[in-house]
Amino acid sequence: MTLRTRQRLSAALVLTALLLAGCTDTNSPTAGPSTAPSSSVPLPTTQSPPTTESTTPTPTPTPTPTQASCIDQKLKDLTLREQAAQLIMTGISADGMTSSQRPIVRQEKPGGILLLGKGGSLSHTRTAMAAVNTSATVKGVRPLIAADQEGGQIQRLKGSGFDRIPEATVQGTWSSGKLTARAEQWGDQLEEAGVNVDLAPVADVVPSSLKEQNAPIGSLDREYGNTPGEVGPPVQAFVKGMKEAGVITSVKHFPGLGRVRGNTDFSSGVVDNVTVRGDDDLQPFKNGIQAGAELVMISTATYTKIDPDNRAVFSKTVIQGMVRSDLQYGGVVITDDVGAAAEVAAVPAGQRATRFVAAGGDIVINARAALTDTMVNALVAKAKQDDAFAAQLTSSVRRVLTLKQNHGLVSCG
């Protein structure tokens, strides 16, 4: 939903509220300045206008459900399994669901879809995403549809109709105004194609001395700069532009991949021995949240000076302590990929989902569609066995549904 669409919707909601309050009658003194002469004598406040038997009473309008009541109703409507599925973002081909992916999406109805591989034109993507919406929508709840649309080497959708986005090292040299304007343009294209989430921008700070050794970010030119002061403003500008287009953004990869060497997608045992809680390099994540980023993506690396016993995605210290408490962030927390990533390959697939939710996270990115059933089953089983976990699952689903409601992806009536 573009900003312009949201503005029209807001206007409609205001009009509805006025109708419910009975304030649209132009004869009402609350509708605007009175045109009656000052000598007019109003009826006493206790007096009611006379009625006759022939008067037809005005029916009381049915109140429009509030956002909270809508979410409450959806939580009642969705089965436990359907709720658990809302916490899984399943990977499919950016060109459209394959023959093996289609039945998974139709049966499991994951709450999110991640586009992988090379996509087609904007018009082709729009048609493919319409099919995804049909397959994944459950009881009036549509899926989040996400792409890694950063720029440079990390741009999933670049067929006809999509601008080629320069790498972050170039974007970082632009003025904030220029980057915001361009990001809005890129966001408009995503929205037109039926994609409502951009898993960007990268808020990681890569020290200049580590650029070539930093496999996940620096060697791919994904960083906006080498200091928090250089990275923060472009992160904010990118988020603001996408927000103007109505596209959800995700600052990533908290608490930062700028000081590691291995790429967690292809390597295991990736460790950051430098970053501490309250580190200066965390500032760009805060900048992105302040600008309106609605997702915070958690890294799968291990940070020995923060929580040496757990990867960040499984760490209560990172998610509940640093994201929820230190940054005061109450929105949706999402993993980096834990479906196909080498870093978590040794962890049973079901535990990748349950351990993340238990640590305080919400959406599990699963690039391997075939694991969707395993992850949903694990979440359901643990919720049935553990009341505290069940409450956490419900809280996560509520955050996800609220995000969707804010973007017109939840239908109530």
With bands split at pLDDT 50, 70 and 90, how would you rate the model's confidence at 44? very low
Q: If pLDDT is split at 50, 70 and 90, which confidence band does 401 have?
A: very high
Percentage, residues of the chain above pLDDT 90:
83
Q: Are 214 and 165 in contact (CB under 8 A)?
A: no
For residue 284, list its beta bridge partners: none
Q: How far apart are CA 390 and CA 387, in angstroms?
A: 5
pLDDT number for residue 37: 34
The per-residue pLDDT for 412 is 86
Among 91, 83, 79, 88, residue whose Cα is nearest residue 117:
91
CB-based contact 150:200 (threshold 8 Å)? yes
Please state the rounded mean pLDDT for residues 119-148. 98
Average pLDDT of span 163-190 = 98
Q: Please state, in angstroms and as integers, the Cα–Cα distance from residue 79 to each residue in 85, 89, 292, following that order.
A: 10, 18, 31
Q: Is 11's pLDDT higher than 70? A: no
Cα→Cα distances 376→79, 98, 133, 349, 381, Å? 12, 21, 19, 10, 9
Q: Which CATH number fits domain 67-406: 3.40.718.10, 3.20.20.300, 3.50.50.60, 1.20.1050.10?
A: 3.20.20.300
Single pTM value for the model: 0.84
The per-residue pLDDT for range 45-76, each reduced to its tens digit, is 334 444 444 444 444 444 455 667 999 999 99
Q: Can you give the residue ranges of every domain in the chain?
A: 67-406
Cis-peptide, bond into residue 201, ω within 30° of zero = yes
Note the pLDDT of residue 188. Answer: 98
Cβ-based neighbours of 197, under 8 Å, separated by 6 or more: 112, 144, 145, 146, 147, 247, 248, 249, 250, 295
Give the chain's mean pLDDT.
88
The span from the CA of 197 to the CA of 187, in Å, is 9
What Rg do the C-alpha atoms of the chain give, in angstroms?
24
Tell me the pLDDT tens digit for each residue of 344-384: 999 999 999 999 999 999 999 999 999 999 999 999 999 99
| % of the chain exceeding 70 in pLDDT | 84
Q: What is the pLDDT of residue 64?
A: 52
Q: Which two tokens stand for residue 262?
A: 């291995």
The distance from CA 332 to its chain's CA centroid, rounded to whole angstroms, is 6
pLDDT at residue 13, rounded to an integer: 45
Q: Give the 3-state secondary structure percentages of the chain, helix then strand then coil, rounded to 5.
A: 45, 10, 45
Tell whether the model's pLDDT for residue 24 goes beyond 90. Answer: no
